[in-house]
């Protein structure tokens, strides 16, 4: 019998996610991947998987049953063994917006365009391109990898979020960068995997950027004519029409994305060399 997870109950959004699918943006396909890559990596390494293996990204509670074998399971990087037929109860996230559940061997859902993660905006990947529901059955891959207990992987949910200013500074009014760096923003409850909206000081534009269109990246801080900041997430559009005041550095993606609606956000500027150095210390192998 092949090993599987059975979804006994689910309350809130739960979907399959992995390390993302690189190399398809020219086809209009965003990279996707985990909202908080550090937590996906910690969960996977704790059960012997490669950091980017497919796991469950949970915004609500979840009840699972393991079939076909015993296996290591981790919730937020804390690993425990589950016997064949055993149940796992995962409470809704507390303190952050999401948590990750990994199982030894990873989730062996079909690979689409080089990734197994769900891309809800395109309705593919994961399990039929959708959120999980009661009665779903997820196939598991073979396990047996070396388990690695990780420490110090949790991004701070209160620290300043570091950004590199630009590239569209010329579209903004005088002092826009200072407003971004001196102000305190809060996470809007309308945020999702496509983008995080921030309430706070209005970011002045000198030019509305009419007709502006260019390739986008995760972490880009777009500013429409309303002056409200929108930080692009993993499922962002591959092209954008609003000017970009700054870009959140890759090392701080998780620190920002894990924050719940109403959480404060402050920004600090760094240069490209510091951004690269910070990522080199954090990048999963």
CA separation, residue 238 to residues 41, 151, 179, 248 (Å) = 25, 34, 27, 16
Question: What is the tally of structural domains in the chain?
Answer: 2
Residue 152 lies in a domain: no
Low-confidence stretches of the chain (pLDDT beneath 50) = none
* 8 A C-beta contact, residue 61 and residue 85: no
Judgement on whether residues 119 and 194 belong to the same structural domain of the protein? no
Residue 104 lies in a domain: yes
Q: Burial, 108: exposed, middle or buried (Cβ in 10 Å; 0-12, 13-18, 19+)?
A: middle
Judgement on whether residues 272 and 167 belong to the same structural domain of the protein? yes
Question: Which of 139, 172, 204 is the C-terminal boundary of a domain?
Answer: 139
Judgement on whether residues 134 and 192 belong to the same structural domain of the protein? no
Judgement on whether residues 276 and 232 belong to the same structural domain of the protein? yes
The pair of three-digit structure tokens given for residue 99, joined into one six-digit string: 């948590």
Residue 150 lies in a domain: no
The pair of three-digit structure tokens given for residue 227, joined into one six-digit string: 């002056």
* 8 A C-beta contact, residue 59 and residue 70: no
**pLDDT value, residue 194:** 95
Judgement on whether residues 103 and 170 belong to the same structural domain of the protein? no
Judgement on whether residues 175 and 274 belong to the same structural domain of the protein? yes
**pLDDT value, residue 205:** 83
> What pTM, to 2 d.p., does this model score?
0.93
**pLDDT value, residue 60:** 97
**Domain of 12, in residue numbers:** 4-139
**pLDDT value, residue 61:** 97
Residue 20 lies in a domain: yes
Judgement on whether residues 131 and 175 belong to the same structural domain of the protein? no
CATH number for the domain spanning 188: value is: 2.40.100.10
Residue 56 lies in a domain: yes
Judgement on whether residues 103 and 217 belong to the same structural domain of the protein? no
Judgement on whether residues 48 and 99 belong to the same structural domain of the protein? yes
């Amino acid at each position: 019998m092949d090993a599987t997870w059975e979804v006994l109950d689910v309350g809130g959004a739960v979907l399959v996610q992995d390390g993302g699918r690189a190399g398809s943006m020219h086809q209009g396909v965003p990279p996707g991947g985990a909202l908080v890559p550090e937590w996906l990596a910690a969960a996977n390494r704790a059960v012997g998987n490669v950091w980017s293996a497919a796991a469950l990204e949970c915004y609500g509670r979840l009840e699972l049953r393991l079939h076909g074998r015993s296996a290591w399971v981790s919730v937020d990087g804390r690993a425990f063994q589950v016997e064949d037929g055993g149940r796992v109860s995962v409470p809704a996230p507390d303190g952050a917006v999401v948590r990750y559940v990994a199982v030894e061997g990873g989730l062996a859902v079909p690979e689409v365009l080089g990734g197994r993660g769900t891309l809800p905006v395109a309705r593919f990947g994961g399990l039929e391109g959708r959120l999980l529901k009661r009665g779903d059955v997820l196939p598991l891959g073979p396990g047996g990898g070396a388990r690695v207990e990780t420490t110090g992987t949790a991004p701070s949910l209160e620290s300043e979020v570091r950004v590199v200013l630009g590239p569209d500074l010329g579209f903004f009014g005088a002092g826009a960068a200072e407003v971004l760096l001196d102000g305190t923003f809060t996470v809007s409850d309308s945020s999702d995997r496509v983008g995080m909206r921030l309430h706070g000081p209005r970011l002045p534009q000198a030019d509305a950027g009419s007709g502006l269109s260019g390739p986008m990246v995760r972490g880009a801080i777009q500013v429409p004519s309303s002056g409200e900041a929108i930080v692009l997430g993993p499922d962002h559009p591959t092209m954008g029409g609003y000017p970009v005041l700054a870009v959140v550095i890759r090392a701080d993606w998780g620190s920002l994305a894990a924050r719940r609606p109403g959480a404060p956000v402050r920004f600090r500027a760094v240069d490209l060399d510091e951004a690269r150095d910070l990522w080199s210390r954090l990048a999963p192998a």
